[in-house]
Structure 1
């Protein structure tokens, strides 16, 4: 039986120090029926030379040539989605290293659980990798496990695209998405939680490289704790609030009544000054921060709601 094809969408920019090892890790996947689409956002280093050298030897790799430059990571990935036709797809950062069974294990969950009728995704975890020291710096890249929209709404961002395998239904919805957005993986996660199903594979399937130039930033234990509770940060970032408002405006006519109420209640919290009123909304609608309800109450107490 022929293996199911997976499209891998790799957005790159000035990644000469990392992209070779990332592509090599893709070529070592035990699941071999994949096609890698690469879009460069105007690199000024040797990234394209490295990519072209791989293309000469591997017909599964395509470089997108559209003459658009400096779109930024979100729109760089959005452009890549236009080329995906496979039943399953996954985003790929230029600077990570995937373990050899990553695609095979994610695909097994997808084939067992997904439906073709609505957007589905499965997410996994990974190890934080210190690029300077050459060691594993963090035992996971996400400690939040959301199983529903109620548990996901207070994320400032989605599950990282490089950790998520999704189906063609979700690909098509994102291809057609026109409102402004901050990051592609935010919308991918929102689409699945709002209109489809989300599954978790509790395995660590990659090294997520930490260095000064990557998008997500520092992931050390101390930095995560500080970001979680310091008053210098907020419960909801303004850019993610605007993103969710645009998402709701675009899709509200197609949402279930339950999900409409959840979005409206989330927005109500952002405009409410009283902690007790905010806490009551959280209780009434069963909001939490992933699996942590108490953490959300504490953040609402200690931090500005929006900043």
Structure 2
């Protein structure tokens, strides 16, 4: 079934057995300062009280819609992809079931993206924001992931070096052009090159459009026993350490993600890196 969003922004929430934190996340979306959105939720055949929680919110709020289908349990990647296929809107945001959005997240993200659209009309665009990390009770561990990890997101997206590791789906907003290209460009089989729903959107935006970083932490990512995330090292690394780490990371990309470069038309990994360096140097001269 197709859903045409009556509002410009479609918030897509994929959930599986999310009863513990789902209400808190939905409430944080309802508390947004921007109300020009519809929340679409697809339950991936949960076995806990998730379906009842979703039904309760759908009954209370007209701007919360459950995506109904008979496809059963698809897994995280296909769950989000099914949401993308089902909903037509001008702009899209992904939502996990266990985060908490700050009240200005939608408005600040949309304003920043809309500003970029003025400079780059008819272009696939994606904006991603910083985030905070917290424990299961939302006690803040790292207020700013980018600051605490000494990471400059623009240094990656300017080179467009496989940005699915830098761009978080729940941190992003992207326009319809990114969505359409994501669905038109089938990703490599997950058993060959596992890539997340948000990672593929970032790759599409990097290849065919532009990615911009909004440096405000606009959501709280919750660490708990059911998610797996690499812990951030707060220590500021030396230049030599970070360079060695980057080389090692590129090597891992070559082994694990060379299929991406082929699918997106870069050819070999060497050609991909060369292409990005040349494109970056040209962009610097233009400025």
State the TM bucket, normalised to the shorter chain: 0.7 to 0.9
150-159 or 176-185: bigger deviation: 150-159
1: CA distance, partners of 2:78 / 2:255: 17
1:221 aligns with 2:226: no
Q: What are the equivalent positions in structure 2 for 1:91-240 lying under 5 Å apart?
A: 91-114=94-117, 115-132=120-137, 134-142=138-146, 143-146=151-154, 151-153=159-161, 157-180=165-188, 181-215=194-228, 217-221=229-233, 235-236=249-250
1:72 aligns with 2:84: no
Task: Give the TM-score, by structure 1 length.
Answer: 0.74
Q: Where does residue 25 of structure 2 map in the other structure?
A: 22
Q: CA RMSD in A?
A: 3.3
Change (3 A) 1:250 1:236: same
8 Å contact 1:138–1:221 — kept in the other structure? Answer: no
Structure 2: runs of 5+ lacking an equivalent: 1-5, 189-193, 281-287
1:264 counterpart residue number = 270
Q: How many residues align?
A: 260
Structure 1, unaligned stretches of length 5 or more? 253-259, 268-280, 288-307
Structure 2 residue 56 is matched with structure 1 residue 53: yes
Q: How far has the Cα of 1:78 moved from its partner?
A: 0.8
- Which whole-Å CA distance do the structure 1 matches of 2:166 and 2:136 have between them? 24
Distance 1:35 1:90 in 2: 10
Once the two structures are TM-superposed, the CA of residue 149 in structure 1 deviates from its matched residue by 5.2
The answer as to whether partners of 2:156 and 2:163 remain within 8 angstroms in 1 is no
CA–CA separation in structure 1 for the residues paired with 2:23 and 2:232: 25
Structure-to-structure mapping, 1:232-251, within 5 angstroms: 235-236=249-250, 241=254, 244-251=257-264
From 57, 62, 66, the equivalent of 2:65 is: 62
Give 1:177 shift: 2.5
Q: What secondary structure, in the 3-state scheme, does the structure 1 residue paired with 2:144 have? A: coil
Give TM-score, length-normalised by structure 2.
Answer: 0.78
